[in-house]
Amino acid sequence: MEDWEVIVIGGGAAGLMAASRAAQRGRRTLLLEKKRRPGTKILMSGGSRCNLTHALDVRGFVEAFGTQGPFLHSALAALGPEQLVDLIEAEGVATKVEPTGKIFPVSDRAEDVLAALLAQLRRSGCVLAVDEPVQSIAPHSAGLKVVTSKRTLRAEAVILTTGGQSYPGSGSTGDGYRWSAELGHTIVPLRPALVPITSHAPWVLGLQGITLPDVSVQVLEPSDDASRPICLARQRGSLLFAHFGVTGPAVLDVSRAVSGHAQPRRLVLRCDLLPDRKADALEAEFQEECREAGRRLALGIVARYVPQRLAETVAVQAGLGPERRAAEVSRNERQQLVTWLKQLDIPISGTLGFNKAELTAGGVALDEIDSHTMESRLLPGLFFAGEILDMDGPIGGYNFQAAFSTGWLAGESA
């Protein structure tokens, strides 16, 4: 049986960082990766541009993770967003902050970020074994036994960084959850997060291809009082109509409220297409424009506010035929138009599921892990980092930062 001081399982963001840090400390470290190349999700990320982190301080990151945030304090203190950027830049990859606060490589090439991480790994002295899936982990005298497709190994410490189970083609098939449960850990139920939302409504599908850069969306559940639905999540940002329903950053950010719901078909996605405009001011503006437009088509006025195809849909939903003249629009119809623009309700049928989710919510329960070290409270020598943990942040570089920070801290402690 081969002996190692540290074995890291899974060569994604968390594993590459954990393995480098452990080896830099002089620990004899082996990184095992199932696929032929490590870092597949890094290459896919941010539209292959890799949004590696966000221009926020530690407190901003902690807040973005909500109730899970405090767990990240020590990890972010060990490797915060500034240190992460310094580390990537020290490998010769310049970064830039976009107006949204998202940080990307200046080259817009995710492969440059991966190359930086691999250069760091190589220098650290860590041994990387690819195309070698781990099959099982079990406690063993003074450490853990790791069985791969090729050999049996023993290590003083094992860091589990196998990721979630979304985009399984990337190698992240959820193997680590099974081992963690076998080793006594609680797995908080898994569900897709940052995932496109589906709708069966023909009018929604007919809008395929339309992008709205600034929309306010809410996931609403009906309540006993029909006029007061319950808001499960809200976000503002861009939305894209697609052949299956809707996607885009604002939609992805609220999607966990849909995938975590027992009856997603009861939900609607309410979209305020003009979030900076007040309803009554908008109605007054319409009245004025309709008066001025006279015999011109009412549709032309709606199309000043939203793209033409969407304007047609809104006009139909509000009961205005395509031939309706502006001067003929009644007060009631104007109000309907405003309601449709401010409260466009998209019926939800579900989500595209794990296959198309950017993230897996749920995972290894945080209260069973020491957040100062990332070590299991149940099995000494077992460490966790990255998406395998019950942690899911919003879109915008937060999830990579969490993976890098927890990976670094695990490598520092193992």
The verdict on 14 binding ligand FAD (CB under 6 A) reads yes
Angle 110-124/40-48 helices, nearest 10 degrees? Answer: 150
Dist CA 201 CA 267 (whole Å): 13
21 binds ligand FAD (CB under 6 A): no
Identified binder of ligand FAD from the candidate list 7, 9, 114, 160, rule CB under 6 A: 9
The side-by-side arrangement of strands in the sheet containing 344-347 is 344-347, 268-272, 211-221, 230-242, 245-247, 197-198, 350-351
- For tokens 């609403």, name the residue: 220
C-alpha 174/C-alpha 258 separation (Å) is 21
Out of 25, 28, 44, 147, the only residue in the binding site for ligand FAD (CB under 6 A) is 44
Q: How far apart are CA 132 and CA 31, in angstroms?
A: 10
- CB-wise, 35 or 256, nearer to ligand FAD? 35
Using the minimum distance from each CB to ligand FAD, give the nearer residue, 12 or 80. 12
358 binds ligand FAD (CB under 6 A): yes
The nearest distance, CB 172 to ligand FAD, in angstroms, is 4
CB of 340 to ligand FAD, least distance (A): 33
Number of amino acids touching ligand FAD (CB under 6 A): 39
Q: Are 383 and 157 in contact (CB under 8 A)?
A: yes
112 binding ligand FAD? (CB under 6 A) = no
Mark residue 187 as left, alpha or beta (left: phi above 0; alpha: psi -120 to 50; beta: remaining). beta
Tell me if 65 sits within 8 A of 165, measured CB to CB.
no
Kindly tell me which residue out of 21, 34, 191, 334 binds ligand FAD, with binding defined by CB under 6 A.
Answer: 34
Q: Does 183 bind ligand FAD (CB under 6 A)?
A: no
Determine the interface stretch with ligand FAD among 55-63, 88-96, 165-173, 293-301 (rule: CB under 6 A): 165-173
Minimum CB distance to ligand FAD, residue 269 (Å): 21
Tokens of 225: 């009082």
Site residues, ligand FAD (CB under 6 A): 9-15, 32-35, 38, 40-41, 44-46, 50-51, 133-134, 161-163, 166-167, 171-173, 175, 358-359, 386-387, 397-400, 403
